[in-house]
Chain A
Amino acid sequence: MEEGRVRPGPVYLTVLVIATCGLVYELVAGTLASYLLGDSVTQFSLVIGLYLTAMGLGSWLSKFLERGLARRFVDVEIAVALVGGFSAPLLFLAFDSPRWFQPVFFSVVVAIGALVGLEIPLMLRLLKRSVVFKDLVAQVLTFDYLGALAASVLFPLLFVPRLGLVRTSLVFGLLNAAVAFATIRLFRREIGPPGGLLARAAVVTLLLLFGVASADRLTDLAEEGQYADEVLLARSSPYQRIVVTKNRAGFQLFLNGHLQFSSVDEYRYHEALVHPAFGVVPGARRVAVLGGGDGLAVREILKHPGVESITLVDLDPAVTRLAREHPLFVALNRGSLLSPKVKVVNVDAMKWLEEGTDRFDLFFVDFPDPSNFAVGKLYTSRFYALLGRRLAPDGAFAVQSTSPLFARRSFWIIERTIRAAGFATRAYHATVPSFGEWGFVLAAAHPFGVPEALPPGLRYLSTETLASLFAFGPDMQRTDQPVNRLDNQVLVRTYEDEFRRFEP
């Protein structure tokens, strides 16, 4: 082999790797953007368009690099390792402030695109002394496309499910860093003493390794395993673990691992929770929502123009902030929490009921299922008695009451408890595919009929089918149940019992 020549074989391997990496970063960015900004077709083509343009920019810029090509190439690899590798963690962090997400996002895409765009032209020029040009182009582009193929197959099948987005991008950053080291070795003649390059590559490698080690703080691998879909956001508030996942159909909110809604069919749940109660108190003006910080029940309530004020009481400011600020949530709840009619209070609902004196025409009680003693308190006769003190004399309230099918005893305990607190009740149920058969209890101080009227423009409820929700088939029929009290918490115990049957 002549002086100055390199063996092209190992070099082609590096081409394969950098091509894979380049496409992976593009896929990571595209996926994240579609998660956050929704509407994945436009989003994806926008990302791809931008990325390709940036690559073009990089290729064009390559002509300004003249001397020390091998060193330049190593520097580009180190830069790709850094920017590409940290792209997903950076974007995840930017999620927290929707205002910054777009600028950060586009800068990252352009930077990666431009750097990746530099790679292949530089590589071609490095190899042109060693390989005949027509073979060179053929070989390099072949490996380039093979890498792209590898990326597009492995990304959805292997990397995202196994590693999650954050680790995927970090691991590919490490591959780019490995290419940098390999290049230093393969082109040692051209490069000469590699001191500075080695040091830079080593620093970036260490940073990436540190990133992998602390990725759990951003997204917990064990936790991601619990969810069927990509974890888009995971955050701990003082009150609960908030996780948002996303799949092709829509996104889901989990609190402490329990599904709160799926954007695909939440309208069924929230229409069912809200509108029947308005049939009992058609003139309702003052409305309160207890729990339900996602703003989806409020969205339905706002469909009743007679409502003058809505007070949303939810313990966790982290949830109501998501509902007010996160684009995905705002799109789904149509900015309901930003309405001037809405007041958000972040306190314990029981305390709020106990300490206030003003009254409301309608209450919507939308707490998580009674899976622990803390939530169980919010389903006790004491709670409903306190609620009764804040209810207008001819007001009414609706309570999400878990599934009358999976947790039949629990459901009827809730209904029994509300009656024990002195209210007339009517139980009803709706089908929400993400949850299954779901139940609610409607209650008022005086006996009332099955509601009939509904506002226009609903997707699930209709005046023809409304009455059927109030009928229960034999497998959901009322059973005789005890009252859930603070001093017995019989609901939590029963609920746990009933749901244990569904655990593997």
Chain B
Amino acid sequence: MNPSRRDAIAALVGWPALASLLSCRRGPERPRYGGEIVGGDLLRGHKLRTGELLARPPVRRERVGTAILGAGISGLSAAWTLARAGDTDFRLYELEDVPGGNARSGRNAVSRYPWGAHYVPVPVDRNPALEALLEEAGAVESRTPDGRPVWAEQVLCADPEERLFFRGLWWEGLYPRAGASGRDLAELARLEREMHRFASLRDARGRRAFAIPRRLSSDDAEWTALDRISMREWLSRNGFTGSRLVWFVEYGCRDDFGSSLDDTSAWAGIHYFASRLPGHATADEPFEEPAPFLTWPEGNGHLVDVLLRSARERIVTGTVVFDVVPRADSVEVRYLDAPRDEVVSVEARHAVVALPHFVAARVLAPWRKEPPPFVAEFQYAPWLVANLTLADRPRERGFPMAWDNVLYDSRGLGYVVATHQSGPSRGPTVLTYYLVFAGEEPRKAREKLLSATWDELSGAAIADLSRAHPDLPGLVTRADVYLWGHAMARPHPGFVWSPGRAAAQQPLGRVRFAHADASAFPLFEEAQDAGVRAAESILKENGTPFLALVALGSGL
């Protein structure tokens, strides 16, 4: 291995991982596996930066009822909602060649696998939109007499769910229990009690303090004040100082938000735990099980496929939307048809901007002219996802392979096993490895990531996991990596309840905003809720009858 590659890997995942790679892969420098950097057409996206496109005249004009910009979960959910109401006069414009956005998935001869989002927790409160979609996805087996869904066993995350590589062995669960003292465990129990308390809080209007989607949460200042401090601050103010506990909570923040304890809002950090508890704990029954996860081999890509049923013929892929101009009773959208290198102008009655906010800031004409103050509030950490196809299961010691497999002292987030739900427990599989640059200056981290070669990136992922699986390098038959330069907006302190963030969601004339970013939480439920709401408000304005799935008008 040449020194520069070594340094690059160390820069990505740190020196300990590199040491393990060096010790187990002597010999030829070139890896024996193939692979590539997949997707994320950076050149296309970067065309937005120069403004050069704005000067190009359109070669074609199109008209459409609703133009949906971006075919991630939010855009697809808007399309799904319109189609459910029988309104098929819409079109989706998507930058990439495949729809799905952060919930994209891939497949090879061994398995399907996620490229980003990979699970949705079972809703703890009624969520009609999510329930309806999951029903279409075959996840609802039946309904209880009061209409609650009974979840199909095969889509609930199969046991064992999680394990942690700690002190040379795998252990069940994510909290590092091995060798934990009585005090450590008491502290963990105290945290759990505290989260149960947060889960059971209701305001005068009966709203949960911490709800999914976030807009259903109470806006009582008593709790939203937690948004002004960081999760680290909250932990220390409440005497949670044990290193195991701090690690456990920080892992949750890194895993869900891509942020460190310092740049996670305490409100968001608590939301991560409390919003997934049913919230009916009592003094007699103080502990409840958190909501189980729904997952598929291809992760949320499964739900993308379901959403696509109503949108497939109406998606235009390979389009760079670069200009959105709200007019009195229409919206003008301009995009580059990248394969043909042609600029097209669309006149739409409505537009749903289901684009990440940093993109929206560049394409919305009024925002371009006069950047609103909230633009700077959206912060994005870069992520690296590697799908490692293995010829066989790696050797390991301790608790057997789970769905989610985390390494304690790693900068990575570990891996999920694509064949966990469907497949046999041996033989070839695909591991989806996640690495997020939490706690680093996003722009620097992004540069580091984007300048690395495939060889370095795949090497870094394998090196990191080799500490738990020494024979991994020899088992990898393919290593594909995906770079998420702006993976998700993170809920840093002050962001969740910021008036600016709420303003960013306000429609501009007939332009509505649907991306998960605007909700402050990078979650499937948020993206879907925002997409459905945008579409329902269009249906309402158009006078199209529909069965409402979300309550309109409630908080932003």
Contact B427 A377 (CB under 8 A): no
Give A437 to B66 CA distance when docked, in angstroms.
Answer: 70
On whether the beta carbons of A238 and B292 are closer than 8 Å, the reply is: no
A488 to B156 alpha-carbon distance, docked (Å): 10
Inter-chain CA distance A380–B421, complex, in Å, is 13
| A382 interface hit (Cβ, 8 Å) | yes
Q: Does A503 contact B (CB under 8 A)?
A: no
Smallest Cβ-Cβ distance to B399: which chain A residue:
A373
A487 touches B158 (CB 8 A): yes
Flag if B292 contacts A487 (CB, 8 Å). Answer: yes
Query: Which residue in A348, A351, A374, A487 is a CB contact (below 8 Å) of B157?
Result: A487
Cβ-defined contact, B153 with A238, below 8 A: no
Nearest chain B residue, comparing its CB with the CB of A372: B400
Q: Which residues of A contact B154 (CB under 8 A)?
A: 382, 486
Indicate if the CB atoms of A348 and B424 lie closer than 8 Å: yes
Q: Are A486 and B159 in contact (CB under 8 A)?
A: yes
Q: Is the CB of B159 within 8 A of A487?
A: yes
Query: B136-161 vs A: 1/0 string, CB under 8 Å?
Result: 00000000000000000110111111
The 5 A-B pairs with the shortest beta carbon distances in the complex, nearest first, are A374-B425, A489-B159, A487-B156, A382-B153, A486-B158
Q: How far is the CB of B144 from chain A (nearest CB, A)?
A: 15
Given A238-B426, A374-B424, A374-B426, CB of A489 within 8 Å of CB of B160: yes
Known: A380-B153, A381-B153, A382-B153. A488 touches B159 (CB 8 A): yes
Provide the A375-397 mask, 1 if CB < 8 A to any CB of B, else 0.
00100111001000000000000
Among B154, B159, B426, B427, the most chain A Cβ lie within 10 Å of the Cβ of B159
CB distance from A217 to the nearest CB of B (A): 18
Among candidates A315, A373, A485, A487, residue contacting B400 with C-beta atoms closer than 8 Å: A373
Give 5 new A-B contacts, CB below 8 A, not counting A374-B425, A487-B153, A489-B158: A238-B426, A315-B424, A485-B153, A485-B156, A486-B158
What would be 15 A-B contacts, judged by CB atoms less than 8 Å apart?
A: A238-B427, A239-B426, A315-B424, A348-B424, A351-B424, A373-B160, A374-B426, A377-B158, A381-B153, A382-B153, A382-B154, A485-B159, A486-B158, A486-B159, A487-B156
For residues 397 through 435 of chain B, which have their beta carbon under 8 Å from a beta carbon of chain A? 400, 424-427
Closest chain-A Cβ to B276's Cβ sits at a distance in Å of 15
- What residue in chain A is nearest B152 (Cβ atoms)? A382
Which size class do B's interface residues fall under? 10 to 19
Interface residues of B, Cβ cutoff 8 Å to A: 153-154, 156-161, 292, 400, 424-427
CA distance A171 to B160 in the complex (A): 47
Residue of A nearest to B425 (CB): A374
Cα(A238)–Cα(B292), bound, Å: 32
Tell me, rounded to whole Å, the shortest Cβ–Cβ distance linking B549 to chain A.
27
**Using Cβ atoms and an 8 Å threshold, which residues of chain A touch B400?**
372-373
Contact status B160-A486, CB under 8 Å: no
CA A488 to CA B158, docked complex, whole Å: 7
Residues on B with C-beta less than 8 A from A381 are: 153
Q: How many residues of A contact B (CB 8 A)?
A: 18
Q: Which residues of A contact B425 (CB under 8 A)?
A: 372-374
Cα A373 to Cα B161 in complex, Å, equals 11
Min CB distance, B526 to chain A, in Å? Answer: 25
Given contacts A372-B400, A373-B400, contact A486 B427 (CB under 8 A): no
Query: Is the CB–CB distance between A486 and B153 below 8 Å?
Result: yes
> Contacts of B427 on A, CB cut-off 8 Å?
238
Closest approach, in angstroms, between the C-beta of B223 and any C-beta of chain A?
Answer: 32
Q: How far, in Å, is A367 (CB) from chain B's closest CB?
A: 13
* Whole-angstrom CA separation of A63 from B146 in the bound complex: 100
A-B contact count (CB 8 A): 40
Task: Tell me the nearest residue of chain B to A489, going by C-beta.
Answer: B159
Q: How far is the CB of A99 from chain B (nearest CB, A)?
A: 30
How many angstroms between the C-alpha atoms of A434 and B160 in the bound complex? Answer: 32
Query: Nearest Cβ distance between residue B296 and chain A, in whole angstroms?
Result: 13
Residues of chain B lying within 8 A (CB to CB) of residue A487: 153, 156-159, 161, 292
Interface positions, chain A 448-478, Cβ under 8 Å from B, are none
User: Smallest CB-CB separation from B161: which chain A residue?
Assistant: A487
Docked pose: A485 CA to B157 CA in angstroms: 11
With both chains docked as a complex, state the minimum distance between the C-beta of A235 and any C-beta of chain B, in angstroms: 16
Contacts of B153 in A (CB 8 A): 380-382, 385, 485-487
A374 to B159, CA, bound (A): 10
- Considering residues A372, A385, A486, A487, which has the most beta carbons from chain B within 10 angstroms of its beta carbon? A487
In the assembled complex, the Cα of A326 lies from the Cα of B156 at a distance in Å of 43
Interchain nearest-CB distance for A345 vs B (Å):
15
Q: Cα distance A373–B424 when bound, in Å?
A: 10
Docked CA distance A374–B429 (Å): 15
| Residues of A close to B158: CB separation below 8 A | 377, 486-487, 489
* CB-defined contacts of B161 to chain A, threshold 8 Å: 487
- Which residues of B are found within 8 Å of A372, using beta-carbon distances? 400, 425
Q: Mark A93-113, 1 if CB is under 8 A from B, else 0.
A: 000000000000000000000
Q: How far is the CA of A485 from the CA of B158 in the complex (A)?
A: 8
Bound-state Cα–Cα, A154 to B424, Å = 47
Contact residues in B for A488 (Cβ distance below 8 Å): 159
| Given A382-B153, A382-B154, A486-B154, CB of A373 within 8 Å of CB of B426 | no
* B159 proximity list for chain A (CB < 8 A): 373, 485-489
Minimum CB–CB distance from B295 to chain A (whole Å) comes to 10
Chain B residues with CB under 8 A of A385: 153
**Given A372-B400, A373-B400, also A486-B156 (CB < 8 A):** yes
Docked Cα-Cα span, A381 to B157, in Å, equals 15
Instruction: Please indicate which of the listed interface residues A373, A374, A377 has the most CB atoms of chain B within 10 Å of its own CB.
Output: A373
Residue in A closest to B427 when the chains form the complex, CB atoms? A238
Q: How far is the CA of A372 from the CA of B393 in the complex (A)?
A: 16
A486–B154 Cα gap in the complex (Å)? 7
A374's nearest neighbour on chain B, judged by CB, is B425
Q: Which of A297-328 contact B (CB under 8 A)?
A: 315
The answer for the CA separation of A381 and B292 in the assembled complex, in Å, is 17
Contacts of A315 in B (CB 8 A): 424
Min CB gap A381→B, angstroms: 6
Cα–Cα distance between A372 and B424 once the two chains are bound (Å): 12
Chain B residue, CB-CB nearest to A484: B159
Q: B residues within 8 A CB of A489?
A: 158-160
Q: Taking the nearest CB of chain B, how far is it from the CB of A123, in angstroms?
A: 53
A486–B295 Cα gap in the complex (Å)?
13
CB of B412, distance to nearest CB on chain A (Å): 24
Nearest Cβ on chain B to A315's Cβ, whole angstroms: 8
| Shortest Cβ gap from A143 to chain B (Å) | 52
Nearest Cβ in chain A — how far from B426, in angstroms?
6
CA distance A343 to B119 in the complex (A): 40
Report how far A382 CA is from B427 CA in the complex, Å: 22
Once the chains are docked, how many angstroms separate the CA of A239 from the CA of B400?
15
What CA separation (Å) do A374 and B153 show in the bound complex?
Answer: 16
Expressed in whole angstroms, the Cα–Cα distance for A486 and B400 within the complex equals 15
0/1 per residue, A482-497, Cβ < 8 Å to B?
0001111100000000
Residue of B nearest to A239 (CB): B426
In the assembled complex, the Cα of A486 lies from the Cα of B156 at a distance in Å of: 8
Q: How far is the CA of A230 from the CA of B432 in the complex (A)?
A: 45
Q: In angstroms, how far is the closest chain A Cβ from the Cβ of B422?
A: 8
Q: How far is the CA of A360 from the CA of B305 in the complex (A)?
A: 34
A373 to B170 CA separation, bound complex (whole angstroms): 15
- CB neighbours (8 Å) of B424 from chain A are 315, 348, 351, 374
CA distance A486 to B426 in the complex (A): 17
Chain B: minimal CB distance from A313 (Å): 14
Bound Cα distance from A351 to B427, whole angstroms: 15
What residue of chain A has the Cβ atom nearest to residue B158's Cβ?
A486
Q: Please encode chain A, from 231 to 249, with 1 for each CB lying within 8 Å of some chain B CB and 0 for all others.
A: 0000000110000000000
**Cα distance A303–B425 in the bound complex, in angstroms:** 35
Docked complex Cα distance between A377 and B159 (Å) = 9
Chain A residues within 8 Å of B426, by CB? 238-239, 374
B75 CB, min distance to chain A CBs, angstroms: 31
Alpha-carbon distance between A26 and B329 when the two chains are bound, in angstroms: 101
CB-nearest residue of chain B to A486: B158
In the bound complex, what is the Cα–Cα distance between A373 and B427 (angstroms)? 15
* Chain A nearest CB, measured from B425 CB (Å): 4
Output the least CB separation between A319 and chain B (Å).
15
- When C-beta atoms are compared, the residue in chain A nearest to B154 turns out to be A382
